[in-house]
Chain A
Amino acid sequence: MDGFPFLIGQHPLIQKIQVLIKKVSSTDATVLVMGESGTGKELVARAIHALSTRGDRPFIPVNCGAIPAELLESEIFGHERGAFTGAIGARAGMFQLANGGTIFLDEVGEMSPPLQVKLLRVLQDREIRPVGADRTMKVDVRVIAATNKDLQHEVDRNAFREDLFYRLQVIPIIMPPLRERRSDIPLLVEHFLEKHNRKKPERTVQITEEAMVHLWEYDWPGNVRELENLLERMVILSEDAAIRVETLPSNIRSFISEKRIPKPSLTASGLDLNSAVEEFENRLIEEALRRTKGNKQAAARLLGLKRTTLVAKLRRRKAVPGTVQPSQNYLL
């Protein structure tokens, strides 16, 4: 753990989440962290634990989605000797291991309905019953759960118990996807570059402003984790210590232009090829004129046209900068 702040970012939402984390860490309240994968849910859980009075006690993460359902109960609550075939000795579960500390139940939405009942009981009575045991034992554990599912939706379709949902989300924390806090991308990029550059002290990989813009505009379906993975790879693979637009993976590099130029689609009434081509041509001409600040000679050169050809096209289409004939999808 790198110390405070636990979350990198100056976005107002991240700042407010930091405040909430601090406040919540002084309580024993159950917390439910929601958000897409890669948004930093475990980081939030670790921060709450580290800042709490339990900070020097164990933090036990359990990925409920990664453990086979039939084993999850004994993993979480432990089992007695001979509780089931293969249970040779008694074994402590995660709740016992976390005693005095915090248990982090990741992907809690994956829990089977019978296990949900048992978790509910733990939250209500603060005691567990190991598999095969005939008596319960008291545990002092703070529970932090996380999910990338919309749990309310799971409740609505009866896949998740409503009473457990409310017990878990005493304090709900929603981590925003990276694409909804783009302003933090430069900060995160610098942070991860520094972190991974440290492993290769003989040279420092840097990023150009233009490459940064491409990272800024990419939608990051894998969120902060995807960004870190990419930068780690780029630091290792970089040949000349610079991350430039050309060295970015093509899916990220092409994102700006692909996103911006909607693919024409055949509608029921068909596609008017002439007007679609015309629209495309108009936009290229407009872009060339914009880049050359209206200099037709230079714009023609950019487009690989003779000046007279460009002038003729302009006259025909009246495509002066900023007044390209809008298609139906476009407003301005």
Chain B
Amino acid sequence: MAMDENGYRTGDTRMDVTNAGRVLVVDDDKHAVEILYRLLQKEGFEVLRAQSGKEALATVAAENVDVILLDVMMPEMDGFAVCEALRAAERTREIPIILLTAKDDMETRVLGMKLGVSEFLTKPINKRELFTRIRAQLHQRGLEHGIVSLVDRVD
């Protein structure tokens, strides 16, 4: 299968899974970030880390990120504020955000929904669910890149 310069498969119409893409893990809990980092890397994802909302925004500004795994409860700048900042900027508006929430936390869900997050992932995190949801978002990103290059080719 042909790849474009970003490593996305081009002209791929199969609905299969993909690990191609960069995941940014954001959590103020150093331990949590490390566990997620190691686990996702072992599974074959390319992973970046940030331990605060500010660090996350700086990372996203400097690097290409395809999906963000974002904890809600963080000091100073919480997950919601990070969402708002990401959605407000042209460059980062379309990056899928998977919000880590507590089970049955209705308030967080209502707010997250309004801020346009892509998925909720309930803590405690289930490995299989984590991988599935990340892959689903990466798959969509891959399709988006495919469409953009297709639009350029259609005359």
Contact = CB atoms under 8 A, between A and B. Distances in A.
B13 A332 contact: no
B126 A176 contact: no
B3 interface: no
Nearest to B129: A259
Contacts of B42: none
A174 B124 contact: no
B62 interface: no
B89 interface: no
Interface in B90-147: 93-94, 102-106, 109-110, 113-114, 116-120, 122-127, 130, 136-137, 139-140, 143-144, 147
Nearest to A173: B147
B110 A183 contact: no
A140 interface: no
Interface in A275-332: 283, 287, 290, 324, 326-327, 329-332
Contact of A176 (B11, B103, B122, B140): B140
Contacts of A213: 106, 109-110, 113
B35 interface: yes
Contacts of B110: 209-210, 212-213
B86 to A, nearest CB: 13
Given A150-B15, A152-B13, A283-B103, A331 B143 contact: no
Given A13-B147, A20-B147, A23-B154, A212 B104 contact: no
A216 interface: yes
A260 interface: yes
A186 B112 CA distance: 12
B14 A152 contact: yes
Contacts of B109: 213, 216-217
Contact of A16 (B114, B139, B147): B147
A186 B113 contact: yes
Contacts of A287: 102-104
Nearest to A17: B147
A19 B146 CA distance: 13
Contacts of A188: none
B151 A19 contact: yes
A159 interface: no
Contacts of A181: 140
B32 interface: yes
A290 B122 CA distance: 14
Contacts of B13: 32, 34, 151-152, 169, 172, 174
A247 interface: no
A269 B11 CA distance: 47
A83 interface: no
A17 B103 CA distance: 34
A264 interface: no
B113 A16 contact: no
A262 interface: yes
A15 B66 CA distance: 17
A56 interface: no
List 7 A-B pairs, minimum CB-CB distance, nearest first.
Answer: A330-B124, A12-B94, A16-B147, A213-B109, A172-B13, A331-B125, A23-B154
Given A180-B136, A183-B113, A183-B118, 14 more contacts: A10-B116, A12-B140, A13-B140, A13-B144, A19-B147, A174-B15, A180-B140, A181-B140, A182-B118, A186-B114, A256-B104, A287-B102, A330-B125, A332-B125
8 contacts: A179-B136, A180-B137, A182-B118, A213-B109, A216-B113, A257-B104, A329-B126, A331-B130
